[in-house]
Amino acid sequence: MRITFMGTGTSQGVPLIGCDCDICRSNDVRDERLRSSILISYENRNILIDAGPDFRQQMLREQVTNLDAILLTHEHKDHIGGLDDVRAFNYIQNKPMDIFAEKRVNDLLQSRDFAYVVERKDYPGIPKMIFHDIENKPFKINSVEVQPIRGLHDKLPVFGFRIKNIAYITDMNYISEEEIKKLYNLEVLIITALRIKKHISHFNLEESLEIIKKLKPKKAYLTHISHKLGFYTDLIKILPENIYPAYDGLKIEI
């Protein structure tokens, strides 16, 4: 299994428009963060988790030429805003893109954000998608089993996902003890760490480190990072052993 970090930034990315802080002006490319997303390559399948506004740029950067499915954690724009660009894969693969999300999210996509996809199916050039409703129980994308992890993003129910021995948790500030049980015995845990200061809808650094300490994955990577967490070079020095700040384009093999 290979994981590619397509983006590791928060909803506004890093640098932020109009911001002249030291992080946003950094010359280190590891401090430049597109909206968060990962690509999982496993059993000859490419599965993307979230397709934010930087989807096109991320696909071009990593030279992705085939994509089997997209998993969506929730309906916020920084996680769905790039879905129109699945058109390229429609042309290349000559089939609609499979979108997996809970019913609330799929309903919103079809009635609000991408209503034109279902309203004018005969219109040339629109993206073609098949929306699969998922629940909080294991399901399969072809032969790949996916275990959803329920959490809260402030008061919004969202999903993280576990595939084999890796898990991806972003845009959460609460996971119940029952859901935490799904996250033991991991090779890799990828988890949001928005900033130092506590946040209403995301784990901050301290909270993420507490979860990592409890779960004891072999390795953990921090993502969905804002410009308020600090420089990559400073973070890597202070983090405990086997915990790393992820950065755009990072690839890990499991």
How sure is the predictor about 119, in pLDDT bands with cuts at 50, 70 and 90?
Answer: confident
The answer to which of 28-37, 123-132, 163-172 has the lowest mean pLDDT is: 123-132
The answer to which of 122-131, 144-153, 232-241 has the lowest mean pLDDT is: 122-131
Q: What is the overall mean pLDDT for the chain? A: 97
- In this predicted structure, the answer to whether residue 91 has a pLDDT above a threshold of 80 is yes
Once rounded to an integer, what is the mean pLDDT over residues 42-68?
96
- In this predicted structure, the answer to whether residue 41 has a pLDDT above a threshold of 90 is yes
Residue whose pair of structure tokens reads 């390795």 in the numeric block: 219
- In this predicted structure, the answer to whether residue 240 has a pLDDT above a threshold of 90 is yes
Domain range list for the chain: 2-253
| pLDDT for the residue numbered 118 | 86
Burial classification of residue 26, based on how many CB atoms lie within 10 Å of its CB (0-12 exposed, 13-18 middle, 19 or more buried): middle
| pLDDT for the residue numbered 127 | 94
Q: How much of the chain exceeds pLDDT 90, in percent?
A: 96
- In this predicted structure, the answer to whether residue 122 has a pLDDT above a threshold of 80 is no
Rounded to a whole number of angstroms, the CA Rg of the chain reads 17
- In this predicted structure, the answer to whether residue 106 has a pLDDT above a threshold of 80 is yes
Q: Among candidates 163, 135, 129, which has minimal Cα distance to 150? A: 135
CATH number of the 2-253 domain: 3.60.15.10
Whole-model pTM? 0.97
How sure is the predictor about 125, in pLDDT bands with cuts at 50, 70 and 90?
Answer: confident
How sure is the predictor about 44, in pLDDT bands with cuts at 50, 70 and 90?
Answer: confident
- In this predicted structure, the answer to whether residue 40 has a pLDDT above a threshold of 80 is yes
